Amino acid sequence: MAAGYGEEHVHVRLIDPSAYTPPYDHALANALVRAGDRVTLVTSEFPYGRIPEPEGYEIEHGFYRRAIGPAGSRIRRVAKVAQHVPDMRRLRRTSKDADIVHFQWLAVQQIDGLLLPKGRPVVLTAHDVLPREARPGQRDAQRRLYDRVDAVVVHSEHGRDRLIDGLDVPREKVHVIAHGAFRHLTTLAPAELPPAFANTKRPVVLFFGLLRPYKGVDVLLDAWRRLGATARTAELWIVGLPKMDVRALRESAPRGVRFVDRFVTDEEAAAYFRRADVVVLPYREIDQSGVLFTALAFGRPMVLTKVGGFPEIAREGAAELVPPGEAGPLARALGTLLHDGTRRRALAARASQLASGAYSWDAVAAAHQRLYRSLLD
């Protein structure tokens, strides 16, 4: 162990330029501070709503301070691109006081590898091993980016295998550190649900998160149709901000399906998860999912597809597993859980155990600290 880093704190700069994952950033920063390190989160203003207040860590809005236009608009994207290089150069200067620079996201891969800070270890968390809905050249640039950092963190064995076997990233550079369960959301006073949701007495199946094509909402609606009489005694709630056109999905949705297609605050999310009897993630592809770890924190039984790191959670006994893209098996798994309270309770109990144990943020922070100190050794 390098002198000075065994028991004393390390200064970590966590970098999330576009504020893609404020809950993750907040939870990791908090846990590292609890474990004795100093943390500065460098990010941008989150345009959709309020984010958690720092608890012991510092926050700098070092990116896109002059971005204009509404969230998701073309004018805002153009403004961010124009500011990206100057902001990355500024980060190089301000990171000289850090021991570790840890990027959560680097979204302009074609140039980011040339703008990384020098003179201290640089870590990149591969929340997505390769970009989805990638622009031309973006995937190749992501691969080159892995060459330029000192360590890559992935959230599953599946992610590690993709990097090593599929992208030829050196094995010693890849580190599996679990995603943490968002237990801080369980301490929030939940918002009031809209009357149409709050007054239902039926069992509720919840799909939550950004609406994107790869998440399989169309397959889920097909499965709901196949449930027949069971679907008439339950409700399916699809809650999240659309990143695609959902008009056709809404128009074709069968009876018992309710949409909340907008950004949802943490307090609202807490209310929806508390009310859910089953959480379903019918994804066609994924590496790992923050929604899964929100469901884990709330101790909710889950139905997951056999993609990415999802089977690793199912093997732990917290979820049922079905093939991706197949409505029939998904319908059968949902129907079984809706009728089997004993099975739901068993899955829920295991989810709660994992959230407070192997997937707690304290465990996640300890794993990060071991990585940081190995790089500083």
- Mean of pLDDT values over 73-78: 84
Tens digit of each residue's pLDDT (9 = 90 or more) over 120-165: 999 999 998 887 776 777 788 888 999 999 999 999 999 999 999 9
Min mean pLDDT across 186-190, 219-223, 354-358, 371-375 is at 186-190
Is residue 2 scored above 50 in pLDDT? no
Tens digit of each residue's pLDDT (9 = 90 or more) over 162-179: 999 988 999 999 999 999
Is residue 46 scored above 70 in pLDDT? yes
What are the tokens at 195? 């009357």
pTM of the full structure: 0.91
Its sign, for the CA torsion 114, 375, 7, 156, is: positive
- Mean of pLDDT values over 50-57: 87
**What are the backbone angles phi and psi of residue 159, rounded to the nearest 5°?**
-60, -40
Give me the domain span that covers residue 56. Answer: 11-180+360-376
Looking at residue 1, its pLDDT comes to 35
Looking at residue 72, its pLDDT comes to 73
Q: What is the CATH number of the domain that holds 198?
A: 3.40.50.2000
What are the tokens at 322? 């079905």
Confidence band of 6 (pLDDT split at 50, 70, 90): low
Looking at residue 57, its pLDDT comes to 96
Looking at residue 7, its pLDDT comes to 58
Angstrom distance (rounded) from CA 195 to CA 177: 41
Shared domain check, 77 and 196: no
Is residue 76 scored above 60 in pLDDT? yes
Shared domain check, 118 and 78: yes
Is residue 33 scored above 70 in pLDDT? yes
- Mean of pLDDT values over 242-267: 94
Its sign, for the CA torsion 225, 230, 232, 236, is: negative
Angstrom distance (rounded) from CA 76 to CA 145: 25
Shared domain check, 105 and 223: no
Is residue 63 scored above 60 in pLDDT? yes
Looking at residue 25, its pLDDT comes to 96
Residue 2 lies in a domain: no
Average per-residue pLDDT for the chain: 93
Shared domain check, 41 and 129: yes
Looking at residue 4, its pLDDT comes to 46
Shared domain check, 230 and 173: no
Residue 45 vs residues 16, 19, 22, 80, 294: alpha-carbon distances, Å:
11, 7, 10, 12, 23
Confidence band of 69 (pLDDT split at 50, 70, 90): confident
Number of domains in the chain: 2
Give the three-state DSSP class for 296. Answer: helix
Angstrom distance (rounded) from CA 331 to CA 224: 6
Shared domain check, 198 and 308: yes
- Mean of pLDDT values over 219-241: 95
Shared domain check, 307 and 217: yes
